[in-house]
Structure 1
Amino acid sequence: MTIHPEIAKILATLPALDGSPLDPQAMRAGEAAQVPPPEDRLPLHAVEDVTASTPSGEVPVRIYTPVEADSYGLLVYFHGGAFFLGSLDTHDHVARSLAEETGHKVVSVGYRLAPEAAFPAGLQDCYGVVRWAAEQGESLKWDGKDLAVAGDSSGGGFVAAVAAMAKDDGFDGITHQILFYPSLDLDFDVDRYASLRENAEGYGLETAGLKPFNAFYLESGADPADPLVSPIKREDLSGLPPALVVTAEHDPLRDEGELYGQRLAEAGVDATVSRYSGANHGFVANFSWIPEFHRVFRETAEFLDRR
């Protein structure tokens, strides 16, 4: 299927990569300028900014309560942004939609970013907040059942790494992992996956841009051979939580996500891979206003409900 026509319209307006150095501060400012004011966001019962005290330090989190209830499942969300972009605000709309559709209380993590924070600071923040959420079960009105982790792109890579960290630590509280077009292999050899060539140009995220966009993370000490950096390199995937891996047809990262889902299933993990036709990398964050793609939130809810 060709790229969705509404996405194609936006892609046609994007400037081509010119090879100039990336400026994290300027790019973050550009993202922040696109965030809608609070009054224009999806209304929920409550949205609250708090600080989570974790072994890695004080981590800002935003808690989304969809409706008033006696208890909730919890979903801890890690935003995307190639490890150096994204924030609680830029992905606020994703967290709100997750809360509304799933009925879970969503805890969005404002983890530390590269290059200012060296690896593994951001990852430790994410894992620390998951453990914090479990410890704060009473105050969060956790139902003691669902404790899901979800993330998009680099945040999806963090989901896989956090699930592995929890298993290795003997923490069995994570019940579900949800990975939206995850970044799981930071070895960018273009021959590793067919999608790196098939979707190399013209779909927003381009194969040539993977190295420069991830350079801030890698240069901060993240080793692509480390399974916590490239979770697909983890040899033993058995015993990990049930997984929903969402991929996009026109995404250079499509095949690594689908291979990860396949490897999880081969290891005995209950894993579902769901490819969205006509979609590109980032569609959950950028194009979920399109009905065909907004259903990803309903699919997430169904995944949580059936397990």
Structure 2
Amino acid sequence: MGLHPQVQFLLQMIESRGLPPMEQLSVQEARQAFEASAKLMSKPEVKVNTEDRKIQGCEKEIAIRIYTPERKGTTGALVYYHGGGWVIGNIETHDALCHTVAAESGCIVVSVDYGLAPESKFPEPVEDAYLAAKWTYDHSDELEIDPKRIAVGGDSAGGNLAAAVSYLAVERKNLTIAYQMLLYPSTGFEYTESYEKYGEGYYLTKSTMAWFRDQYLTGEDDTESPLAAPLLIPDAATRQLPPAYIMTAEFDPLCDGGEAFATKLKDAGVEVKYVCYPGMIHGFLGMTEFVSDGKKAVSEIASELKAKFTADISHTENR
């Protein structure tokens, strides 16, 4: 079908503003620009109760926001890591998505403000992400969460962190992750066909990705770590990873990497549902005010989570 007309319009609108590319801004300017854009492009249509807390991260306290929908009794939870190349983004930029997923899934969502690069370089954000998931697991009674129904998820860099947390949970054996939701995730640093084909003119560019990686990684050796590149997770650990829902966008330079990770999991015998949204670009989940398929995809995420965690809850609780 080609690039969706709504996406074409949005890209033309962005180009007409004549803003400098992100890599030409300072880190603080890039963060401010992304937050302003997020407020314009995505707004929650429904809201749930929220609570902001601080928990101990890797090097310092980090903020979390707990989204609690109306529910009866114990439910599942999604620990969510926002996208933004490990450099930009925060709880606020992904607030609309988290409200919608919590409201439509009936599950609690714990959104995590992990440390950002370059202040917090790899692997600090991975450890922050892990500690947030472990905090959720350890506080399951307080939050009225079934500890056997905890998922991790995120978009782009957040999807990368979710996959890394799932791997660490296998290695450390002190946390149970039941499900991973990886939304156009960054899975490796090898050049792919989609990276070359869609690396210019489709919102996320090669030069911006290079800038993100330069801020995040401490050196070339980091590209060989499975905590930075989930495609490098050893086969023995891959077989023990939780079931996954992996979503990609057709015109995204990261598309092939997400599909390759889905294939890696399937080949290892892990249950996977893989979806590629036609006509969409990287970041479309946060463009719901302009792109109707963004709303559709966020609702699909909620539906998948609900199907995984809330089916027959009453039956389970009464057994």
TM norm. shorter chain > 0.5: yes
Contact 2:288 2:294 in 1 (8 A): yes
Comparing 6-15 with 111-120, which one deviates more in the overlay? 6-15
Query: Is it true that 1:33 corresponds to 2:49 in the alignment?
Result: no
Could you tell me how far 1:291 is from its partner in structure 2? 3.2
Q: Which residue in 2 is equivalent to 1:200?
A: 199
Q: Which residue in 2 is equivalent to 1:44?
A: 47
Q: Which residue of 149, 156, 167 maps to 1:153?
A: 156
| 1:256-295 map, 5 Å | 256-287=257-288, 290-295=291-296
Unpaired segments ≥5 residues, structure 2: 309-319
Q: Which residue in 2 is equivalent to 1:227?
A: 226
Instruction: Provide the rounded CA distance (Å) in 2 between the counterparts of 1:276 and 1:91.
Output: 20
Q: CA RMSD in A?
A: 2.3
Instruction: Provide the rounded CA distance (Å) in 2 between the counterparts of 1:222 and 1:119.
Output: 11
Query: Is it true that 1:77 corresponds to 2:74 in the alignment?
Result: no
Comparing 106-115 with 210-219, which one deviates more in the overlay? 210-219
Could you tell me how far 1:195 is from its partner in structure 2? 0.7
- Shift in CA distance, 103/194, structure 1 to aligned 2, threshold 3 Å: same
- Shift in CA distance, 221/140, structure 1 to aligned 2, threshold 3 Å: farther
Instruction: Provide the rounded CA distance (Å) in 2 between the counterparts of 1:58 and 1:162.
Output: 18
- Shift in CA distance, 45/18, structure 1 to aligned 2, threshold 3 Å: closer
Instruction: Provide the rounded CA distance (Å) in 1 between the counterparts of 2:56 and 2:20.
Output: 40
Instruction: Provide the rounded CA distance (Å) in 1 between the counterparts of 2:3 and 2:31.
Output: 27
Q: Which residue in 2 is equivalent to 1:10?
A: 10
- Shift in CA distance, 132/93, structure 1 to aligned 2, threshold 3 Å: same
1:254-296: CA deviations, max 9, x gaps?
0010010001000010011100001000111223763333222
Instruction: Provide the rounded CA distance (Å) in 2 between the counterparts of 1:19 and 1:49.
Output: 29
Query: Is it true that 1:116 corresponds to 2:144 in the alignment?
Result: no
Could you tell me how far 1:300 is from its partner in structure 2? 2.2
Identity of aligned residues (%): 34
Q: Which amino acid aligns with 1:279?
A: M
Residues matched between the structures, number: 301
Could you tell me how far 1:144 is from its partner in structure 2? 3.5
Instruction: Provide the rounded CA distance (Å) in 2 between the counterparts of 1:193 and 1:220.
Output: 21
Query: Is it true that 1:87 corresponds to 2:90 in the alignment?
Result: yes
Secondary structure (helix, strand or coil) at the match of 1:6 reads helix
Q: Which residue in 1 is equivalent to 2:312?
A: none
Secondary structure (helix, strand or coil) at the match of 1:44 reads coil
Contact 1:114 1:220 in 2 (8 A): no
Could you tell me how far 1:18 is from its partner in structure 2? 6.4
Compare relative contact order (CA 8 Å, sep 6+) and give the higher one, 1 or 2: 2
TM-score (norm 2): 0.87
Secondary structure (helix, strand or coil) at the match of 1:146 reads strand
Instruction: Provide the rounded CA distance (Å) in 2 between the counterparts of 1:177 and 1:98.
Output: 14
Instruction: Provide the rounded CA distance (Å) in 2 between the counterparts of 1:248 and 1:241.
Output: 23
| 1:145-224 map, 5 Å | 145-171=148-174, 173-187=176-190, 192-219=191-218, 223-224=222-223
Instruction: Provide the rounded CA distance (Å) in 1 between the counterparts of 2:90 and 2:282.
Output: 18
1:144-197: CA deviations, max 9, x gaps?
34101110000000011000000001135110000000011134xxxx311112
Instruction: Provide the rounded CA distance (Å) in 2 between the counterparts of 1:20 and 1:143.
Output: 42
Secondary structure (helix, strand or coil) at the match of 1:287 reads coil
Instruction: Provide the rounded CA distance (Å) in 1 between the counterparts of 2:216 and 2:279.
Output: 30
1:96-142: CA deviations, max 9, x gaps?
11112211100000110000112211111110010100111111111
Could you tell me how far 1:70 is from its partner in structure 2? 2.4
Unpaired segments ≥5 residues, structure 1: none
Q: Which amino acid aligns with 2:180?
A: Q
Instruction: Provide the rounded CA distance (Å) in 2 between the counterparts of 1:210 and 1:48.
Output: 33
TM-score (norm 1): 0.90
- Shift in CA distance, 242/233, structure 1 to aligned 2, threshold 3 Å: same
Instruction: Provide the rounded CA distance (Å) in 2 between the counterparts of 1:54 and 1:20.
Output: 28
